[in-house]
Amino acid sequence: MPTLTTTSKGGRPRKGDVEAKSLHIIETASRLFAQQGFAATSVEQVVAACGVGKDTVYRRFPSKLALFEGVVEHARIKTQAHFQTTMATQTGDALTQLRAAARWLLTVNLDPTLIAFKRIAFSEALVVGQSVAGRSDDPIMDRLLALIGEAQSAGEIAPGDVRFLAMQLLNCIAVGPMIDAMLGGTSYASTRAQTAYFDKAWKLFLDGARR
C-alpha cells in the first residue's frame, strides 16, 4: 500500500497529506467500529488496519473514545452534506420538498453504518453516550422546521407548533423502522419495503388518525 505521507521542502508533511491520513484513520476506524462494536475494537486494531504508526493515530486521537467521537463527527458531516445535496435537486412547493426530506430521513436512518453507531451509543451509553450526544446545531432539523412553516403558510399543513410537528414527522416516518433495524430486523431492508412503508406513514402524518 502506498504511503500517505510526503513532505514539503521544509521537512513537514503537507497539509493535504495530513488531512488524507486523518481521513484514512477515520474511515478505517469507522469500518471496524461498525463491524465489531465499541468494546471489541481497540486502537491497536485500527493502527494495524491503517498501516500507520501508533504515534500517528494517538497524535490525532489520544484515546479510543476520542477516536469514536471523530468517527461520529465525520459521519455527521457526511450525512449533512448528503442531505444538502439531495435537497438541492428538489423542486416544487414546500410540501413536496418536505415529503422528499422525510423520504430521505427514512433512508438515512436505515443506513447500516449509522445503525451500527446508534447501537454503540445505546449499548455503551455509560462510556460514549454523553460524548456523542446531539449537538445544538442541526441544519437538517432547521430545514424541516422551515419547510413545515412554509407549508403551514401555504395552507397545506394545519397551524400548530412547528417543532412539535417536526418531531411527530420524525417519529412517524423514521423511528419505528430504525428501532427495527437496530434490533436486527430486516423488514425495511429493501427500497421497495421502505417505499411501501413511507407512503402509508406519510399519508398518516398528513391526514391524522381520525376518520
Calpha distance 107→117 (Å, rounded): 16
Residue 166: count of CB within 10 angstroms of its CB: 20
* Of residues 103, 117, 116, the one with CA closest to residue 170: 103
Calpha distance 152→146 (Å, rounded): 10
Residue at 71 is within a domain? no
Grid coordinates 445544538 are at which residue?
Answer: 136
Q: pLDDT tens for residues 51-97? A: 999 999 999 999 999 999 999 999 999 999 999 999 999 999 999 99
Are 147 and 182 in the same domain? yes
Residue at 162 is within a domain? yes
Residue at 73 is within a domain? no
Calpha distance 153→135 (Å, rounded): 29
Are 1 and 105 in the same domain? no
pLDDT band for 131, please (50, 70, 90 cuts). low
- What integer pLDDT is reported at residue 122 of this predicted model? 84
Residue at 21 is within a domain? yes
Residue at 109 is within a domain? yes
Are 53 and 82 in the same domain? no
Residue at 26 is within a domain? yes
Are 203 and 171 in the same domain? yes
Q: pLDDT tens for residues 132-160? A: 555 667 999 999 999 999 999 999 999 99
Are 101 and 164 in the same domain? yes
Residue 185 burial by Cβ neighbours in a 10 Å radius (0-12, 13-18, 19+): exposed
Are 112 and 174 in the same domain? yes
Are 127 and 153 in the same domain? yes
pLDDT band for 210, please (50, 70, 90 cuts). confident
Calpha distance 35→74 (Å, rounded): 17
**CATH number reported for the structural domain that contains residue 164 in this entry:** 1.10.357
- What integer pLDDT is reported at residue 191 of this predicted model? 96
Are 172 and 144 in the same domain? yes
Helix 43-50 to helix 15-36 angle (10° resolution) is 120
Are 50 and 104 in the same domain? no
Residue at 69 is within a domain? no
Residue at 92 is within a domain? yes
Give the burial string for 41-68 (b: 16+ CB within 10 Å, else e): bebeebbeebebeeebbeebbeebeebb
- Among 37, 62, 87, give the residue marking a domain's end: 62
Domain count, the chain: 2
Under 8 Å between Cβ of 95 and 151: yes
* Of residues 104, 176, 177, the one with CA closest to residue 144: 104
Q: pLDDT tens for residues 1-47? A: 444 444 445 555 576 777 889 999 999 999 999 999 999 999 999 99
Domain, as residue range, for 191: 78-207
The contacts of residue 116 (CB under 8 Å, 6+ apart) are: 33, 34, 35, 37
Are 86 and 189 in the same domain? yes
C-alpha cell of residue 178: 430504525
Are 14 and 96 in the same domain? no
Mean pLDDT, residues 185-199 taken together: 97
Helix 15-36 to helix 112-123 angle (10° resolution) is 70
Are 2 and 92 in the same domain? no
**CATH number reported for the structural domain that contains residue 8 in this entry:** 1.10.10.60
